[in-house]
């Protein structure tokens, strides 16, 4: 359980009523996006840091949005390597990657690529979602090299 102790000092998202479906699915290993029921456009599962979920579709402005499962398949769109220790909870992990992945559904997410040395990352590499259980309630989507 040493990993759990280390993880517990990192900031952990707190599900609220709006995000609870996302976190409930994540615990089951399913990545949810929001999808427009009018035109089928997929949207990010988050509104961005400190912002609420988008109330309307970016394509057609419909307010008919619902949670929908993503394939979990993605490609690496961009990444940076973090060498600076901004939070002591991450001190043992520098340098770690901060990655932007593009899901097959067209949505980009900021995440980490795990199970792969930073030197082996390349733009366009195929990835698949995996989940890191950080508390009883919360699992966070990360990405690993697709087989």
Q: Cα dist. 58→46, 53, 105, 107, 136 in Å?
A: 14, 12, 14, 12, 34
Residue selected from 19, 41, 97, 112 as contacting Zn ion according to rule CB under 5 A: 41
- When asked if residue 62 is in the footprint of Zn ion (CB under 5 A), the reply is yes
CB of 65 or CB of 76, closer to Zn ion: 65
Q: How many residues does the chain have?
A: 147
- When asked if residue 65 is in the footprint of Zn ion (CB under 5 A), the reply is no
C-alpha span between 50 and 82 (Å, rounded): 22
The alpha carbons of the chain give a radius of gyration, in whole angstroms, of: 16
C-alpha span between 46 and 76 (Å, rounded): 19
- When asked if residue 38 is in the footprint of Zn ion (CB under 5 A), the reply is yes
- When asked if residue 58 is in the footprint of Zn ion (CB under 5 A), the reply is no
- When asked if residue 71 is in the footprint of Zn ion (CB under 5 A), the reply is no
- When asked if residue 68 is in the footprint of Zn ion (CB under 5 A), the reply is no
Residue ranges in contact with Zn ion by CB under 5 A: 36, 38-39, 41, 57, 59-60, 62
């Amino acid at each position: 359980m040493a990993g759990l102790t280390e993880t517990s000092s990192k900031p952990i998202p707190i599900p609220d009523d709006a995000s609870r479906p996302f976190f409930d699915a994540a615990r089951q290993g399913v990545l949810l996006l929001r999808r427009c029921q009018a035109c089928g456009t997929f949207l990010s599962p988050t509104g961005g840091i400190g912002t609420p979920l988008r109330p309307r579709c970016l394509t057609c402005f419909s307010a008919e949005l619902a949670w929908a499962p993503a394939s979990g398949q993605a490609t690496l769109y961009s990444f940076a390597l973090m060498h600076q220790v901004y939070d002591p909870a991450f001190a043992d992990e520098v340098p770690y990657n901060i990655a932007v992945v593009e899901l097959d559904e067209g949505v980009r997410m900021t995440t980490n690529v795990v199970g792969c040395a930073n030197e082996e990352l390349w733009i366009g590499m195929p990835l698949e979602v995996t989940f890191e259980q950080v508390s009883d309630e919360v699992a966070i989507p990360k990405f690993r090299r697709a087989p």
